[in-house]
Amino acid sequence: MKKFVSIILAMLLVLGLAACGNEAETTAAAGGSSAADASQSDDEVFVVGICQLVQHAALDSATQGFKDALIEALGDKVEFDEQNASGEAVNCTTIINGFTAKGVDLIMANATPALTAAAAATKEIPILGTSVTSYAAALEIDDFNGIVGGNISGTSDLADLKEQAALFPAWLPEAKTVGLLYCSAEANSIYQVEVVEKELADMGIATQRFAFTDTNDVGSVTQAACDACDALYIPTDNTAASNTEAIANITIPAKTPVIAGEMSICKGCGLATLSIDYYDLGVATGKMAAKILTGEADISTMEIEYAPNLQKYYNAAMCETFGITPLEGYEALTD
């Protein structure tokens, strides 16, 4: 009997050891899986979709600044799906829908039509706008407090419009009527025109609006503006920025100088500007993106950021063409 009991105990001991061995293997396997998951997390690459409305110097600079800042922050852990809408808002919608189907980690919308397309397409994927003048106007937000909320934030290219309006009496004191030249399809342009119109009225300067609908009527509308006005104001308008040569070909023979809303338009057809640096704006947007992707910041609570510095520039060639001496404190634009 004792021998039988001893045999039973020995068998139970063997079975217990086997069970411990299996548990250890299971635990090791689970630990190996956790290590693999951690390794996979370490190797994670964030995919960022970039939708840029159109190719021109200002937007190109913003995109480059955005990419440079993200690469500096995340290195090879970020990759970009960069697409250009060729100036067509409908193309922005197609591009953004592609990003949502792909499941990108973040969307950077460069210019207002890209932002509105993104906002309509997804409430889940984080969206950062840049080169957007007014988020309130673009997204139809009443009583805007600086935070969009939800899955949207970004940076604004809004300069001090009162100071921009003040460039007219400073540079062109003889101008009595200013033509406001802009694209009627761009909400950001309409907002700027409304503000500058009021500021010029307060200075006793008459204004008249001249809106083109797209590239096709830029020439005819510009000619009408030159025929009716002493000088022109062009806001940070993407259609105008893409057609500065065509505008200059009309304003120069007409002897109608242009005060521009940003440096790339000024470089192409303007006399002077108070402008932000779009590369710096892109860098600020990229830094915001890095915080969102790494979980350091919640996009729903992030305030819209603005360009840190404004610069005064003049176009030396235009000054010579119109016989105007550059004012002190302004820097000559260079290629």
**pLDDT tens digits, 103-133:** 999 999 999 999 999 999 999 999 999 999 9
Which whole number is the average pLDDT over 311-329?
A: 97
73 CB burial (10 A radius; 0-12, 13-18, 19+) = middle
Same domain, 187 and 318: yes
Q: Which pLDDT score, from 0 to 100, does residue 335 have?
A: 72
Q: Cα separation of 80 and 112, whole Å?
A: 20
Q: How confident is the model at residue 324 (pLDDT cuts 50, 70, 90)?
A: very high
Q: Which pLDDT score, from 0 to 100, does residue 24 have?
A: 38
Torsion angle of alpha carbons 25, 26, 30, 35, nearest 10°?
A: 0
DSSP 11-71: HHHHHHHHHHHHHHHHHHHHHHHHHHHHHHHHT--EEEEEEESS-SHHHHHHHHHHHHHHH
The total number of residues written for the chain in this structure: 335
Q: Which pLDDT score, from 0 to 100, does residue 334 have?
A: 85
Q: Which pLDDT score, from 0 to 100, does residue 234 have?
A: 98
DSSP 99-124: HHHHT-SEEEEESHHHHHHHHHH-SS
Domain presence at residue 187: yes
State how many domains the chain has: 2
Q: Cα separation of 90 and 205, whole Å?
A: 38
* Mean model confidence pLDDT for the chain: 89
CA distance readout (Å), 328 to 238, 313, 314, 315: 29, 10, 10, 13
To which residue do tokens 């030396």 refer? 316
* Residue 8, pLDDT above cutoff 80: no
Same domain, 152 and 284: yes
Q: Which pLDDT score, from 0 to 100, does residue 41 have?
A: 55
Q: Cα separation of 331 and 155, whole Å?
A: 25
Q: Answer yes or no: are the C-beta atoms of 259 and 164 closer than 8 Å.
A: yes
Q: Answer yes or no: are the C-beta atoms of 141 and 148 closer than 8 Å.
A: yes
Same domain, 149 and 166: no
Q: Which pLDDT score, from 0 to 100, does residue 178 have?
A: 98
The residue ranking higher by pLDDT, 30 or 55, is 55
Q: Cα separation of 49 and 46, whole Å?
A: 10
* Residue 222, pLDDT above cutoff 50: yes
* Residue 33, pLDDT above cutoff 80: no
The residue ranking higher by pLDDT, 4 or 335, is 335
CA terminus-to-terminus distance, the chain = 103
Q: Which pLDDT score, from 0 to 100, does residue 308 have?
A: 74
**pLDDT tens digits, 162-175:** 999 999 999 999 99
* Residue 285, pLDDT above cutoff 60: yes
* Residue 185, pLDDT above cutoff 60: yes
Residues of the domain holding 124: 46-157+277-303
**pLDDT tens digits, 273-283:** 999 999 999 99
Same domain, 135 and 244: no
Domain presence at residue 40: no
Put the strands of the sheet holding 272-275 in their side by side order.
Answer: 206-212, 177-183, 231-234, 258-260, 272-275, 311-314, 331-332
Tally of CB atoms within 10 A around 270: 30
Q: Cα separation of 227 and 109, whole Å?
A: 37
Same domain, 326 and 200: yes
Same domain, 153 and 171: no
**Long-range contacts (CB closer than 8 Å, 24 or more residues apart) made by 323-329:** 324/171, 324/257, 324/271, 327/170, 327/171, 327/272
CATH number of the CATH domain containing 51? 3.40.50.2300
Question: 270: which DSSP letter?
Answer: -
Q: Which pLDDT score, from 0 to 100, does residue 190 have?
A: 95
The structure tokens listed for 65 are 């600044």
Same domain, 328 and 282: no
Domain presence at residue 186: yes
**What are the beta bridge partners of residue 258?**
232
Q: Which pLDDT score, from 0 to 100, does residue 14 have?
A: 41
Q: What are the residues whose beta carbons fall under 8 Å from the beta carbon of 246, sequence distance 6 or more?
A: 218, 219, 222
Q: Which pLDDT score, from 0 to 100, does residue 18 have?
A: 44
* Residue 323, pLDDT above cutoff 90: yes
Domain presence at residue 239: yes
Q: Which pLDDT score, from 0 to 100, does residue 42 have?
A: 62
The residue ranking higher by pLDDT, 38 or 169, is 169
Domain presence at residue 33: no
Q: Which of 15-24, 70-79, 146-155, 292-301 has the lowest mean pLDDT?
A: 15-24
Q: What are the residues whose beta carbons fall under 8 Å from the beta carbon of 41, sequence distance 6 or more?
A: none
**pLDDT tens digits, 287-316:** 999 999 999 999 999 999 998 788 999 999
Q: How confident is the model at residue 43 (pLDDT cuts 50, 70, 90)?
A: confident
Q: Which pLDDT score, from 0 to 100, does residue 6 have?
A: 47
Q: Which pLDDT score, from 0 to 100, does residue 3 have?
A: 43
Same domain, 96 and 220: no
